Amino acid sequence: MMNLLKYIYSLSLVALSGFLLIACEDFLDRQEDEKLTFEKIWESRNTTKQYWLNAMSFLPKENSREIGNDDPYIGASDEGTIAFERDFRAMNFGSWNPSSIPYYKMDYYYKGIRECNIFLQNADKCSDPLLDRHELAKWKIQARFARAYYYFMMMRDFGPVFLLGDELLDFMASTEELYRPRATWEQCVDYVVSEMTACAEDPAMQKQTELSNSEWGFATQGTCYAVISRLTLYSARDLFNGNSLYRGIVNPVCEEFPEQSGKPLFPQTYDANKWLVAAQAAHKVFEDGSYRLYRAGNGNPYEDYYGIGYKVWNSELIWTDGYFKRFGWSVTTVPTGVAGTAYGGIGPTQQLVDAYAMNTGRYPIAGYSVTGKPIVDEEAGYNLENELVKTDWEYPAKGWSTSDNYWIKAPNMYKDREPRFYITVFFSGNTWLHGEAKTPISFAKGGNGNKAHDYPKSGYLCNRFYDHYQNSASDNWGNITFPVFRLGEIYLNFIESVLECKKRAVTMPAGYYEEAMEKWNDLRNRAGVPPILEVYPDASVEELIELCRKERRVELAFERHRYFDTRTWMIAEKTDGGKMYGMDTTYPIGNMSPTETPDGFWKRVPFETRVFNRNHYLYPFAQREIDRNNLLVQNYGW
């Protein structure tokens, strides 16, 4: 099945290499003053389309390669541990600086913005009678969306950035002529929101239900509103709403740029009405009814939750970064004890394991003492003293694999948890399901899941995005349409925003609170747990906000949200710094079978100590940019 993003990544590489490598140059290096080459691009439908595909090719390919290769959002998050030595390790240990920035993509995204501008300013020149003007309108609105999305991608890492609009920087200009200050955060938000709104309202921007099969993967009206929802949610949270930490980040006085001259880059006054903006933005996404929480229709919450990342192009997906072979995710989460290609090293931390509710819907771990010992909610029915005692209990596998439920002997810690736990967390001593095959796995030292450097440091693997219906030992991996934006997230955006409005006495449209509770109930019903107010009938608004954060943590696990959530909530100094816990993967199996897990493995131990300082909430600007732009103000603490 063909879709836009897969088309971009294949055709743009193949077609462009054949089209413009005659002079051994990259298509992107062609300048407007190369009159013959540049003008001829717009004479043909094919070459015009190729330029469009190239402009779109800067969209992130977050799930087509091994996790951790292209971004830090799982490896540098407190939810995940990755065994492989990638650049995010510098972020884990605080050893990065403006001269050495992991995954620095500012240049990359500005190149994409430039290519979108070139396309948008020249596409209408195409005189080829084979070019359908409705088709061209679709290309143009997709390019305009991509341009705004590139800004959004930078803003979540750097905060306020440079806004170029339709400007094409003059490569012949002097360094001094190219000096410019950063726009303020509010200017950046206003620009992206206005661009996304214009895209959504453009007749060429289709609704999800209007796409043909060949257009699956296009941004849609819902995608535009989903970006606005996430951005306005981030903007309402503490990092970007009256954050006194950034009080001193102020642009220099510069007469050439009066809108930025002397302006604080971050808003210094808390604005509670931002939560209303965020609530309305989330509501806009589901107003037209194009999306539904994915349910298989069998009343099985395991199948329902697993299906979000298993069923391609399902009803919950608002936007995905492509239709890919599942290999990139699966090869790094299948344990090495399974035959075939296996580098199982990506898994949850103990902190994420502890975050899941019991099957009653109540969260058992309320926090941690200064020594790292869990603080247990006594009403949750969780016995801390007996959590690592092994008992016989039925493991739920029906609905997300080819296997029916089966009995195991495993620690009580993993017993009687909510369905999302079993879909996401794989623990030692359990059986990995792959197609019709079942392989017992041990993560103890010398076990079949801990034979060399490829093993989960926490003693847990991510279970969620592996295709358990396929047998990877036979090189069958399945395909994936990863949920970059999905309805479950938008529900949580809405719930959080409504609760914050209620807490701060912000007037909302009639029925917003009731609708938020209904959507929360629907989300939890899909997950197989009771409504939140049934489980916590006496919860205050402040407690409901904290419970919403817990819900978000487990519902969106390993979807690259936690990294940004802890930062925009400004809790990362507590959550992302300090000891990361797991089971004791250094404990040897001794004379036991390599599939057995010895009793000494079952204890909470720190597998590493991470560093998160106050300047780590945002990326620094590269030192080379600071050195050559006298108007560029560096982010806090760098």
Convert the pLDDT of each residue in 182-194 to its tens digit.
999 999 999 999 9
Identify the pLDDT of residue 68.
Answer: 81
Bridge-based pairing state of the strands 365-368 and 390-395: unpaired
Backbone conformation region of residue 293, classed left if phi is above 0, alpha if psi is from -120 to 50, else beta? beta
- DSSP per residue, 250-278: BPPP-TT-TTTTT-BSS--S--THHHHHH
- Report, as an integer, the average pLDDT of 50-71: 86
Please report where in the chains the tokens 């914050």 appear, as a residue.
500
Question: Structural domains in the chain?
Answer: 36-222+310-481+529-637 (1.25.40.390)
Binning pLDDT at 50, 70 and 90, where does residue 288 land? confident
Identify the pLDDT of residue 64.
Answer: 61
Is residue 508's pLDDT more than 50?
yes
- The length of the chain, given as a count of residues: 638
Is residue 612's pLDDT more than 70?
yes
- Please give the helix or strand (H or E) that residue 582 lies within, else none: strand 578-582
Is residue 176's pLDDT more than 90?
no
Convert the pLDDT of each residue in 350-364 to its tens digit.
999 999 999 999 999
User: Strand (E) positions, 479-611?
Assistant: 479-486, 578-582, 605-610
Is residue 241's pLDDT more than 80?
yes
Identify the pLDDT of residue 149.
Answer: 98
Convert the pLDDT of each residue in 561-578 to its tens digit.
999 999 999 999 999 999
Please report where in the chains the tokens 């009066």 appear, as a residue.
258
Q: What are the tokens at 345?
A: 């090293």
Bridge-based pairing state of the strands 346-348 and 80-82: antiparallel
Identify the pLDDT of residue 5.
Answer: 32
CB 584 within 8 A of CB 388: no
CB 192 within 8 A of CB 155: yes
What distances in angstroms separate CA 512 from CA 135, 279, 388, 497, 508, one per listed residue? 39, 9, 43, 10, 7
What distances in angstroms separate CA 31 from CA 109, 156, 172, 611, one per listed residue? 18, 30, 11, 44
- Report, as an integer, the average pLDDT of 386-413: 97
CA distance linking residue 184 with residue 6, whole number of Å:
35
CB 635 within 8 A of CB 619: yes
Binning pLDDT at 50, 70 and 90, where does residue 603 land? very high
CB 605 within 8 A of CB 445: no
- The fraction of the chain above a pLDDT of 90, given in percent, is 88
- Report, as an integer, the average pLDDT of 598-604: 97
Identify the pLDDT of residue 12.
Answer: 36
Binning pLDDT at 50, 70 and 90, where does residue 175 land? low
What distances in angstroms separate CA 355 from CA 143, 275, 352, 549, 620, one per listed residue? 40, 26, 5, 10, 31
- Report, as an integer, the average pLDDT of 118-144: 96
Q: State the average pLDDT for the chain.
A: 92
CA distance linking residue 116 with residue 178, whole number of Å:
20
Binning pLDDT at 50, 70 and 90, where does residue 14 land? very low
- The fraction of the chain above a pLDDT of 70, given in percent, is 93
Convert the pLDDT of each residue in 93-115 to its tens digit.
999 999 999 999 999 999 999 99
Identify the pLDDT of residue 62.
Answer: 67
CA distance linking residue 363 with residue 379, whole number of Å:
9
Binning pLDDT at 50, 70 and 90, where does residue 15 land? very low
Q: Which has the minimum average pLDDT: 30-34, 268-272, 369-373, 517-521?
A: 30-34
Convert the pLDDT of each residue in 160-174 to its tens digit.
999 999 988 776 776
Is residue 426's pLDDT more than 70?
yes
Among 587, 355, 579, which residue's Cα sits nearest to residue 459? 587
Identify the pLDDT of residue 61.
Answer: 81
Binning pLDDT at 50, 70 and 90, where does residue 2 land? very low
Binning pLDDT at 50, 70 and 90, where does residue 1 land? very low
Identify the pLDDT of residue 557.
Answer: 98
CB 430 within 8 A of CB 395: yes
Q: List, in sequence order, every residue forming a beta bridge with 483; answer none if it has no partner.
A: 320
CB 245 within 8 A of CB 169: no
Binning pLDDT at 50, 70 and 90, where does residue 41 land? very high
Q: What are the tokens at 574?
A: 């507590």
